[in-house]
A and B are shown apart, each in its own frame.
Chain A
């Protein structure tokens, strides 16, 4: 297994366009998380899934943002009508459920979004 992967790695889009990012977690991990990281800040939690169920959403996740994990494997994060304030690194992470030996979340390389 090669770890968490994200696609694309970089995305430049014009304001008002829609964008979609994909995350493929580590195969045996049933939890998947999305975070956003702006320059000079730590990652901020957006949402997470256990299998296909979206269990928590941050207030940061406005109604322009939607995330799905239809089959409990890969996940997509869509941003509609992008704004310049959406420019950030979008990080995906996955983990085993609590109670297992592995407690950490494994992060992907991120998708850097630039809205012009």
Chain B
């Protein structure tokens, strides 16, 4: 069974609009961390935001926020006021207990001018 599910293979969004990228996860470990990474066409993986399973508040980093719904096992990324430079692949990922990270298949985001 997939641990990380990203159901949107691709999305097209108008510049300056907000966008939500979906992510659901599966784990029985009470201690885990959730990440979002951005991968532009250059190939590097850029860390965006982190949410710990025990964190009470949703994580925010600038224009990025993580909508963490623990009971639904959902960790959606919200990008406010999208920019052309936001066009990239976005990966949701989870770390359980130990240290390796399991990635989803990604969502390709296209920002339209």
Contacts and interface: CB of A to CB of B under 8 A. Distances in A.
A105 B105 CA distance: 18
Interface string B31-51: 001010100001111110010
A89 interface: yes
B101 interface: yes
State which size class the interface on B falls in.
20 to 34
Interface residues of A, number: 26
A71 B101 CA distance: 24
Contacts of B42: 109
By CB atoms of chain B within 10 A, which of A45, A105, A110 has the most? Answer: A105
Interface stretch (A18-26, A36-44, A62-70, A76-84): A36-44
B99 A43 contact: no
B105 A42 contact: yes
Interface of A: 31, 33, 40-45, 48, 55-56, 58, 89, 91, 93, 95, 98, 103-110, 112
